[in-house]
Each structure stands twice: as structure tokens, then as C-alpha cells.
Amino acid sequence: MSTRRPRYRYIAFRVDGPRAFSADEVLEAFRASPGRPWLVGFEGSLGLARTTHLMKDAAIQALVRIDSVGGARVVVTTLGTSGTIRKATAKYLRRR
């Protein structure tokens, strides 16, 4: 068993739906999805999820498969993946 710290990946995503969602509603949708993504932050329609480098592809597939948040139909789009929160935020979540 390795005692090394896991290598995390941060996945930026966007939730498109009929209304604005709270972080709690998005977190509830995450709990039902496989791939074990962890919600780091969510504001407006943009969010950041954390997973390990081994589960990155499964987490992306789980995010894309989310079809409802808070009882409303949504489309989740992944914007990109990074190795640090700072780079993911700067590259994918900053409004230009």
C-alpha cells in the first residue's frame, strides 16, 4: 500500500438549465454520480470538481451524465481539466 499523497485533477464544468442552481443542489446531484467527483466550488453556472488522476475519465463521464439538478433538466458541459485549482480557475472559469 502506498503512502504517497494522491495526485488530484480539477475539472471545470458548466451547468446549463432553466434557472440558477445553488451549490447544495449541485452537490446533491454529485452524490448520485459514480466516479467519485468532489465539488470544490460552484458559483452561478460554473463549478470546479476534484478527483484523482486515476479516476479523471470516470469523473468526467459521470459529470456529463448528470441530467437533472434540483428537479430541473440540465446539460453539464466540461470546460477543461487542470492539475491545480489556480490554473483551472484562471484558464477555464474566469470571465473574459
d(CA 43, CA 58) in angstroms, rounded, equals 23
Task: Give one DSSP letter per residue of 60-78, joined into a string.
Answer: HHHHHH--EETTEE-EEEE
Domains of the chain: 18-93 (3.30.70.3250)
Residue 4 confidence (pLDDT) above 90: no
Q: What is the mean pLDDT of residues 43-71?
A: 92
Q: Which pLDDT score, from 0 to 100, does residue 63 have?
A: 92
Contact 39, 25 (CB under 8 A): no
Residue 24 confidence (pLDDT) above 90: yes
Q: Which pLDDT score, from 0 to 100, does residue 75 have?
A: 96
Q: Which pLDDT score, from 0 to 100, does residue 37 have?
A: 85
Q: What is the mean pLDDT of residues 82-93?
A: 95
Reduced to 3 states (helix: H, G, I; strand: E, B; else coil), residue 44 is coil
d(CA 90, CA 74) in angstroms, rounded, equals 25
